[in-house]
Each structure stands twice: as structure tokens, then as C-alpha cells.
Structure 1
Amino acid sequence: MKILHTSDWHIGRTFHTHSTLGHLREVLDALVEIVRSQGVDVVAVSGDIFDSATPAADSYALLEHALRAIRKAGAVVVMTSGNHDSATRLGFQSEWASFADIHVVTRYNQYLEPVTIADAEGPVNFYGIPYLEPALIRHHYPDVVLRTHEQVLGFAMQQIRADLTVRGGRSVVLSHCFAAGVNASDVERDISAGGLDLVPASVFDGPDYVALGHIHGRSTISQRVRYSGAPLHYSFSEAGKPRGGWLVELGATGLDSVDWVDLPVPRRLSVLTGDLDDLLTDDTYAENENDWVSAILTDQVRPLDAMRALQKRFPYCVALEHRPSVTAATTTTTYAERVRAKSDPDIVAGFLELVRNGVGPTEFERRLVAEVLAADARATEMTA
């Protein structure tokens, strides 16, 4: 059986106020082509289908388009809810969807009812564990200590292993969590607060493959426990990280192979660093003109209207940071102490150094200050 492991579609998410629906549709269409060309039997989507608990109508439309295309390409769909999803909204009419081999797992105890799909070698049991927040489910099990995410998933996996002992066959688990041993970017919503914490990989002992979601970059915890990452880049911290999914093949006795399959990147992410003039004129940056751009300006003085200027060359420049290449040395001396017994020109020069990160006045500015101070002195004498 061939399984395509994907996750974190985040349908409806914006990228610096720009809609990502068009790019995500392009990527999901490419995913469908992988299903068709590789003869994928099951597409497993491990949570965060939507980016919001209240998706807009066009987000639903894109999900419908993707699911219809995957089924037409010949694969069964098994998906779970993540921490961004509303389990109730995502699971609405899931019973009827299952008749079309689209299995949406969102109820807190639905993992006890595996989706069983057979191939020539026998049954494969897919145990979908929706995102389970301890505070919202512990009242269902008053005799069990469920204060942390590790305890919740440990309890769920204990039940799954018990079911497998009786049921038999090969098995795949889908879970949306923060497993120990991976590095998050600045996109993943923190689920470690309020008692939710990292989940050790040992919690997932037993199944032939564990398809994880939540972390947006691909990651291999072990040969059989992996993150696929998100199909799109949603942050500049993800720039350069590949987008795709894991093509998992189960043989008669369990896991045979896991291979990475790439998805297209509709628009690259580039972080460009330099003086404004260099970014606007240097031919080196010509290849970045159609990228999403985050610009880090190293000019000593913050340029005026820099974003407007950058967007003339880089129309998709969406982030700007001023980080001077030279900064003033830190000191504990107060401003009053620094200007005491100094002349007026020296005080002005010191002020300019302060606000310009160590860069004092130009020669023109020195002459201008001298002229202004001289004119002020003459005006004072005339009124004395």
C-alpha cells in the first residue's frame, strides 16, 4: 500500500496580508498529480486543514476542490483536525463523507474506531488522533491523569496498541503534536503553554508508521515517525526549506520504504541584506525580483520611504527591517554627563551620533549647524 503523508495545509492563511489560496491550489493540484503518477492508495493529512476555526467560504471551496481531485485520482483520504481547526466545523457531515472514502477524524475518541483499508496483503488500520487539548477532554476520563499533551497521547496510544493486539494487521497513526527532537519555526502556534508540552517519540511505539503534523518543516524523528511539514512556505524562517510530502510504502509485514516527494514552490522566499542603494541597483538581486522579499537595510541612517522604493524593484517585498552595519558602543554614562562642558556644535554632533547609531554629522551638516548657531548668536546680541 502506498500512502502520501502530508499535513498543515492551513487553508485560508495569509502571508503578510496577501492571500495564499491561489498558490495553495497550485500546490495541491501538484499533490494530486503525485497521487495519480505514483499510484497512491491513501492520502493521510495530519491536522491543521484550515488556518482558522471559522474558515471563509472560499477556503471551504478549495478544500472541496482538493478532496474531489484526490478521490478522482484514485486515493482514499484520511484526515484529522489540528489545533488551528474547529473540530466541529471540520467534522460536519463527516459521516456522509466517509461513504465517499473521505474519512475526517475530529471527535475526541474517534481514534478507537480505525479506518480500515485493505490491499492485496490484507488490512491496514488508520488510527486518526485529532488534536486533543487536555483541558477539554480530561472530564471524559475522570479516573485518568491527563494534564499534559504527553499524558493525553500516551493514553490514546495505549488504547490503540490494545486494539491492535486484538484486531491485528498493519497500522498507521496520524497525530498533530509537538514531538521532542524537532526545531519549530516562528509560525507554529505554541502549544506548550498551559500544561501542554513536548511529546517524546517513545509515546508512538507500536504502529508501522506515524504521520505527524504541526511542525512546518519536514523532520525525521525515526524511520517510522516523521513530520511532512506544510505544503507552502508561511514564514521567512522557512525560506530554503523544501516543500513536499513523504511517500510511504507498506509491505506484507510492515514498513518497506519512505521516500520524499517534492512539491512546487509557487513563489520563493528571499531575505536580502544590504544598503538600500545596493538592493535597488545591484544586478546580483535580479533573480529575486519576483520572490517574496524580506529586506534588511544596513544603512547607517534609516532611509525615508524605503518600502515604496523597494517595491518598485521587488513588487512582492513584504517585510522591512533596519539593522545598521555599525552601531554605537553601549555606555553607562548619562546624556547629561556626556554633554556637560561641551560646546553647542559638539552637543549637536553628539545628538546626531546618538540617533544615528554612532554616525555623526556630515561636513555639510557641520557648516549648516555653525551657520544656524552664528545667526542665533547675532540675533541674541541685537536684542540684548
Structure 2
Amino acid sequence: MRLLHTSDWHLGRSFHGVGMLAAQRRFAAQLLDTVEREEVDVVLLAGDVYDRALPGVDVVALLDEVLAALSTRGVAVVLTSGNHDSATRLGFAGRVMEAAGIHLRTRIADLDAPVVLDLDGAQLAIYGLPYLEPRLVAEALDVAEPSHFSVTEAALARVRADLATRPAGTQSVVLAHTFASGGISSASERELSIGGVGAVPLDLFDGFTYTALGHLHGRQTLAERVRYSGSPLPYSFSEAHHAKGAWLVELDGGGLRSVAAVDWPAGRPLAVLRGRLEDLLSAEEHAWAEAAYCQITLTDDERPAQAMERLRGRFPDTLVLGFEPENAKDKAQQNYSQRVAGAADEVELCCGFLEHVRSRGASEAEEAALARAIEAARALEAAL
């Protein structure tokens, strides 16, 4: 049996203000192509189906199209809710959808109710853990001290108790939307605790045939049987070098046979560029980025005028622009009050403020304009 491990679709998300629904439709087509080409039997979706609790109508329609296409092909789907989803809304009509092979695991009450499939004369039990917010689920899981570790441990204890009632030789797959220690986070996982806080230890998942994790957006292997599929599309510039896709998991009655990466190239590359403005505008090595979404950091000593407009002349889809002067470390570090404390007059004070906020001093024309404005203000004050 072949399972396709995916997660973190984040349907409806935007990328620095750019809508991504078209890109997500392209991903959906790639997924369906993979299902047909690889003869996938089950698609796993480990949480964050949507990007928000109240997705738009067109976003819901896209998920409906994908699930209908998979059901028509006779492919089973097991999906859980993530921290971005509304578990209640996502789980609506779950009992009805079971008949179509769409298995929703969004409720605490269902986490130890597996999807049971035939596997070469044996059984495969697939368990889905929704995202477990400790303070909200501690009571339902009989946990005294709510933490990510304690609620996950309690949930998996219920899974193991059910698995123990299954026939000998039953293989098990667990879906969980969580931060397991050993994972590598990226910037687009919002409100994710790292550095050990909020993480669960890897050995909580010992004993299962395969654990399909969601939450982190980089595809990665924590252990041979415990993996993150990552998001199918890059959702932050920190993911510019990620290989996006899924895991193709093959099982038989004896257990895990193989796990192989499936790549889904994005329609638009991401470029993270850094350098002086004139170099970026002229260097041939950056020609590929002209068709990419760009995050650019300028290192000019002074902030160039009309920097964004000039950059977009070559890189039309520059979405993020930052400034980090190369000589910043060599300059004396002064706060704003220190910088303007010695100003001789109002013009110098205004020029100091201008330099502070844009990292570039006033030009002669700008200084003259400031002087005229100050003189006009003085004349108006004198006339009152």
C-alpha cells in the first residue's frame, strides 16, 4: 500500500500581499498527478489545511474540488486539523464523508478511532491527532498540568491502548500536527515555540510503523519512521532553498518498506539578494531573479533615493526591501537624542532627523527646502 504524506497546505494564504490561490491550484494538480502516477492508495494531510479559521468561499471550493477528485479516483484521505484551522468547521459532515473515503480527524473523541484498511491480509490502523492546544484539551485528556508534552503523551496513550486491542501484526500510522524536538523551524510557522519550549520529544512516537508530522514547513527526517512532509509551497523567504513536495510511504503486512521524496517545483522561484544597489541592477548573475519573488537587502553606506522603484525596474516582483549598510558596524553607535543634541539650529535638527529615519543625509536641495519651510513657519508664528 502506498501513502502520500502531506501537510500544511495553508489554502487561502497570501505571500507578502500576493494572493496564492493560483499557485495552490497548481499544487493541487501536481498532487493529483502524483496520486495517479505513483498509484497512491491513501493521502495523509497532517493539519493546517486552511490558513485561517474562516477561509474564503473560493478557498473552500478548492479543497472541495481536491477531495472530490481523490474520492472519484478511489483514493482514501485522512486529514487532521492544525493550529490554523477551526477544528469544528473543518470537521463538519465528517461522518457523512466517511462513506466517500474522506476521513476527518478533528475531534479529541476521534483520536483513538483509527481508519482501518486491509494490508496484505493484515490491518493498517491510521490515527489522526488534531492540533492539541494544551489549555483547551487538558481536561478532555485528563491532564493535570497542561503542556504540549503532557497532552501529546496522553493522546498517544489512548492511541496505544486502542492499538493493543487490534489483531497481532496490525501496522500503525499516526498523523500529528506538533513541534517535535529535532525539527527545524522556518519563519512562516507563526506563534511556534522553539528552543525546547512547546516541543515534544521524539521518543513519544516510538513503536508506530510511521508517524506523519505537520507544523514545520521544511520537509525533513527526524527518524526513519518519523518525518515532516513540509508545506507544498514556500510561504516565507526563509523557505527559498527548501525542496517542496511530500513523502511517498510504502507499507506491507510486514511493516515499512520504503519512504521516498516527491518533489513539486513551485511555479515562481524565490530570490534572497543582498548587495549595493548599482551592483544588483547590473550583475548578470542575478538575471534569474528577474522572474522571481524577491527579498532584497541593500548594503549601500547611504540609503539610495527611490530604491524600490529602481529595483522593480529590473526585479518587478520585489516584495521585501531592507537596508543594512556595510559600514554600520564601523560607525559610532548613537541614539537619536545623542545625534541631534548638538544641532546648531532647526535646519540641522531636521536634517539630523531625516538622516536618522532613512540612513541618508539631506541633499542640498532638501536642506534648502527645509530652510524655506522653517522660515515660513517663523513668519507665520510672528504674524499671529
Q: Which shows bigger deviation, 160-169 or 278-287?
A: 278-287
The alignment partner of 1:33 has SS state of: helix
Question: Which of structures 1 and 2 has the bigger CA Rg?
Answer: 1
What are the residue-to-residue correspondences of 1:257-268 with 2, within 5 Å?
257-268=258-269
Question: 1:155 maps to what in 2?
Answer: 154
Deviations 1:223-277 (A, max 9, x none): 0000000000000001111001011111221111111110121111101112222
Question: 1:197 maps to what in 2?
Answer: 198
Deviations 1:88-119 (A, max 9, x none): 11011111111100111111121121011113
The alignment partner of 1:23 has SS state of: helix
Question: 2:221 maps to what in 1?
Answer: 220
- Whether the 8 Å contact between 1:127 and 1:173 is mirrored in structure 2 is yes
The alignment partner of 2:108 has SS state of: coil
Question: 1:90 maps to what in 2?
Answer: 90
Give the whole-Å Cα distance in 1 for the aligned partners of 2:147 and 2:81: 19
Structure 1 counterpart of 2:154, which letter?
A: F
Cα 1:276–1:332 change in 2 (3 A) is: closer
Question: 1:126 maps to what in 2?
Answer: 126
- Whether the 8 Å contact between 1:292 and 1:316 is mirrored in structure 2 is yes
Question: 1:19 maps to what in 2?
Answer: 19
What are the residue-to-residue correspondences of 1:124-273 with 2, within 5 Å?
124-142=124-142, 144-168=143-167, 169-192=170-193, 197-273=198-274
- Whether the 8 Å contact between 1:324 and 1:357 is mirrored in structure 2 is no
Matched, 1:52 2:52: yes
Alpha-carbon distance, 1:329 to partner: 2.6
Which ranges in structure 1 are unaligned for 5 or more consecutive residues? 373-384
Deviations 1:123-177 (A, max 9, x none): 21000011111211223245x3241011111011111112111113111000000
Matched, 1:330 2:332: yes
Cα 1:253–1:298 change in 2 (3 A) is: same
Give the whole-Å Cα distance in 2 for the aligned partners of 1:117 and 1:305: 61
- Whether the 8 Å contact between 2:339 and 2:352 is mirrored in structure 1 is no
Give the whole-Å Cα distance in 2 for the aligned partners of 1:106 and 1:291: 37
Give the whole-Å Cα distance in 2 for the aligned partners of 1:360 and 1:266: 41
Structure 2 counterpart of 1:85, which letter?
A: D
Cα 1:190–1:360 change in 2 (3 A) is: closer
Deviations 1:277-311 (A, max 9, x none): 22223322221111010111112221222222222
Structure 1 counterpart of 2:161, which letter?
A: A
Structure 2 counterpart of 1:153, which letter?
A: T
Deviations 1:334-374 (A, max 9, x none): 8489969xx99xx99x9699759998899xx6xx99xx9xx
Give the whole-Å Cα distance in 1 for the aligned partners of 2:187 and 2:88: 27
Give the whole-Å Cα distance in 2 for the aligned partners of 1:17 and 1:181: 32
Cα 1:141–1:356 change in 2 (3 A) is: closer
Cα 1:230–1:44 change in 2 (3 A) is: same
Structure 1 counterpart of 2:45, which letter?
A: V
Structure 2 counterpart of 1:239, which letter?
A: A
TM normalised by structure 2 equals 0.86
Q: Which shows bigger deviation, 131-140 or 242-251?
A: 131-140
- Whether the 8 Å contact between 2:114 and 2:125 is mirrored in structure 1 is yes
What are the residue-to-residue correspondences of 1:319-358 with 2, within 5 Å?
319-327=320-328, 328-331=330-333, 335=338, 355=356
- Whether the 8 Å contact between 1:54 and 1:86 is mirrored in structure 2 is yes
Q: Which shows bigger deviation, 270-279 or 257-266?
A: 270-279
- Whether the 8 Å contact between 2:302 and 2:359 is mirrored in structure 1 is no
Deviations 1:175-203 (A, max 9, x none): 0000001121111122439x971100111
The alignment partner of 1:166 has SS state of: coil
Question: 1:109 maps to what in 2?
Answer: 109
Q: Which shows bigger deviation, 124-133 or 281-290?
A: 281-290
The alignment partner of 1:150 has SS state of: helix
Give the whole-Å Cα distance in 1 for the aligned partners of 2:31 and 2:217: 17
CA RMSD, 1 decimal: 2.9
Give the whole-Å Cα distance in 1 for the aligned partners of 2:111 and 2:339: 68
Q: Which shows bigger deviation, 225-234 or 162-171?
A: 162-171
Deviations 1:25-46 (A, max 9, x none): 1012111111111111100000
Cα 1:21–1:203 change in 2 (3 A) is: same
Give the whole-Å Cα distance in 2 for the aligned partners of 1:138 and 1:300: 54
Q: Which shows bigger deviation, 215-224 or 268-277?
A: 268-277
TM normalised by structure 1 equals 0.86
- Whether the 8 Å contact between 1:353 and 1:360 is mirrored in structure 2 is yes
